[in-house]
Structure 1
């Protein structure tokens, strides 16, 4: 090998040994730290050492949770969290949950729906107004408010001069007809007289039928000594007396309303829908109702009628739904909300409405993690059905949430607002 080459190799080796010695010297390290060409490259993340990278995250010693997840120290962070994320809340002791009950998130198949205001009304096809057919005096009143009556049952008895005149005419025409029959049999009277007597008697009977008399009653007025008639006012259908204006001994005019009868076995719900729902409506569509007076009960029905036009002022569509009322608990003019199912079934999650807690930010539920540790989790809610609420995002089927006693957890979550946050604060 060339002597010059050997010399260059020795110089290179010597320089390498010098550089290695300077790197292992503590004093030279500090000087080399400022040099961009330092021989010791940084370890771990850029600008940090491996020891710095492995250091644990800040920990809330008072509540024994990571400080970034401590809901007691920073409840306002809930506003920044998306559904499904939450903050941890630790109670002073596991016994603090004695008043808390838990339920599982319920999964159910539901269909797409549209909701609207609703009002129950009487079915006009099952409603009857009983009026006085002629002017007269009410001699008897047989029923009172709330009475259930059968079709044809007597409601009241009405006496009237017009009735007396009609019955007298019936008896007179009957006597004339009998006399003409005898004379005609002996061929003493002409045929036209017999036909006229027959027509007058028929007219007298038709007049009494129009007033409400039965054939049996009409025949009874033809018996000797029956000259004090009373018209029996009868129920036209099986129903309940919901209004009474009849008082014994009172004078009533022809056409005056005496009773109002209603068959409440089926009511109707008046629904006010947006016109955008028109394309999905059809007769027979299922309807669910939640009434203000019966919040824990779901009432079902079917669409029976859809209005022919949209209200020009409100731009809403009137729909009537038939609602069975077998136990008579429902009443006309009850208000509530209605839901019409207009789409195919899909899986939805439901929890009790009491499990949802409103904050100054998004709604949250409390999910148990340990006996004394809970997660205040942000959720996105959907429809409300009675005492339940739909959860669109933030929970999984089968998870447990605090259903009652959540005030204790909510109070602990906002404890820092009372000046009781982290001990280090």
Structure 2
């Protein structure tokens, strides 16, 4: 009997425990079915339009109805019968049951609100983009908000924003510009010309900023000169009258090419002397042959032969002397005209005579120079001479052509300082090829004395001084010009190397930059309060 009672109790326990899960499941399904079966039609028939300043992008619901961000609103909506128990939002704006269309991004400045920091910002906040940009001169850099909306610096503004419904209670800023929920992009200082023709009227011209390697160095004046080893003056050793000029200044000539013909009496005398010397040599050589023949026949003695040999040798020396004299003077034709020839390949850079003028041995009739190899002389203050070394790279910019850059290396450093100027002369050997360099042309030189660094090369007129800063204007688009702060690294006559906010190839305003400077307001750079 006891065994039967125990069996009955165990069977009852199994039946009771097996029914409990079923009961729980049935209750859950009933609740879901109850929510799914309630009517959404009324809410859907009266769609809510979101306000541009009233949107919680984290929960996709108007901020004024977001019970996740504002739990104190729950009881109000429940009392009004506007409540979705399943999702915990007001039924009329439940993101799952009756989603409200977000406000247009073109007008919204509130997407991505995050009061509790436990929900996600909108896509704009995630990507780091801003839906608004502050105006120049209206920025509180201490709170990262437009100064006109900074309720920390201007508490009297708070009541007005609250009355308009534009308020972030958590952070104490206007919702439309809350630095945490809807950050506004800082202003970019610059100038805006409001009509298209203003750009043309101002005569604005741009030039790209060039990124270049530039070494530490010292600047000094320089001068281009001909390579003295590649310059030749054409002179005559025999005075006479210039009869013909065969080349003109600027013409290229080759070594041995005829340049000038001079009629010279002395050259004619030298030619006659050469003819006489040659005739005397022939006579002396014939006499020597006869004496040698007679000696072989035993008719004369050895002394006669030796005398004849001495006479022939003197005649040969006379011919060599006459030939050397004519060779130094130039070739003489049958009419006695002396032809002067170019000693080197080069260019005729000077002509000092005209046809019919008298040519003397003291004057240079013509100058030939090889411009493919030139020198540059740099004049460095003696106080900076310790930084100089042979082989250092030097950049030169001609005054008449500042856009041209010539490079060379130090080949010679003078050992003496000019007592008048206190400068030390440094010589460079250049191979300018077809560059337009001229003897005596002035230039600005930069001797690189350190390791090269990257800098931006821009025209000097692009840099303007504004307050305590140096700035340049960059053309963003027609009529819109942004400023960039820069620091001058090095300078030459019409060129500056700068560092700072400027990027390679940005179009920098050159001509007309001063006009834009006059339009820049004093509070556009270093703007706003710093509370």
TM-score range, shorter chain: 0.5 to 0.7
- Contact map agreement 2:346 2:371 (CA 8 A) in 1: yes
Q: Could you tell me how far 1:125 is from its partner in structure 2?
A: 0.7
Q: Distance in 1 between matches of 2:464 and 2:156?
A: 30
Change (3 A) 1:182 1:352: closer
Which of residues 106, 126, 148 in structure 1 aligns to 2:230?
126
Q: Which residue of 2 aligns with 1:297?
A: 404
| Correspondence for 2:421 | 314
Alpha carbons of structure 1 residues 129 and 360: separation in structure 2 relative to 1, 3 Å: farther
362, 371, 374: which is aligned to 1:267?
374
Query: Which residue in 2 is equivalent to 1:55?
Result: 154
> Against the structure 1 CA distance between its residues 247 and 296, is the aligned structure 2 distance closer, same or farther, given a 3 Å change threshold?
same
Aligned to 1:344: 451
For residue 413 of structure 1, report the CA deviation from its aligned partner.
Answer: 1.7
Deviation of 1:268 after TM superposition, in Å, equals 1.2
Structure 1 residue 152 corresponds to structure 2 residue 267 = no
Q: Give the Cα separation in 2 of the matches to 1:396 and 1:328.
A: 31
**Pairs within 5 Å for 1:182-331:** 182-187=286-291, 190-212=305-327, 228-327=335-434, 329-331=436-438
- 1:309 positional shift: 1.6
Output the CA distance in 1 between the equivalents of 2:421 and 2:403: 31
2:147 corresponding residue in structure 1: none
| Alpha-carbon distance in 1 for matches of 2:247, 2:208 | 54
More strand by share: 1
Backbone CA RMSD of aligned residues: 3.7
* C-alpha separation in 2, matches of 1:57 and 1:106: 49
Q: Which deviates more, 335-344 or 130-139?
A: 130-139
> Does the C-alpha gap of structure 1 residues 288 and 357 become closer, same or farther in structure 2, counting only changes over 3 Å?
same
The correspondence for 2:240, drawn from 136, 149, 152, is: 136
2:278 corresponding residue in structure 1: 174
Deviation of 1:101 (Å): 7.3
Question: 1:363 corresponds to which residue?
Answer: 470
- Residue 119 of structure 2 is matched in structure 1 by none
1 CA distance for matches of 2:316 and 2:425?
52
- Note if 1:395 corresponds to 2:501: yes
Matches within 5 A, 1:369-380: 376=483, 378-380=485-487
Q: Which runs of 5+ in 1 are unaligned?
A: 1-50, 59-85, 417-425
Distance 2:271 2:505 in 1: 81
TM-score computed with the length of structure 2 as normaliser: 0.54
- For residues 114 and 260 of structure 1, the distance between their equivalents in structure 2, rounded to whole angstroms, comes to 36
- The 3 A distance-change label for structure 1 pair 232 and 334 is same
Number of aligned positions between the proteins? 331
Q: Whose Rg is larger?
A: 2
Q: Could you say what secondary structure the match of 2:255 adopts? A: coil
Post-superposition shift, 1:275? 2.2
Match of 2:517 among 387, 410, 414: 410
Return the alpha-carbon distance in structure 1 between the equivalents of residues 198 and 156 of structure 2: 29
Please report how far the alpha carbon of residue 170 of structure 1 lies from its aligned counterpart in structure 2 after TM superposition.
2.0
Query: What do residues 58-88 of structure 1 show as CA deviations (whole Å, max 9, x unaligned)?
Result: 9xxxxxxxxxxxxxxxxxxxxxxxxxxx994
Normalized against structure 1, the TM-score is what?
0.66
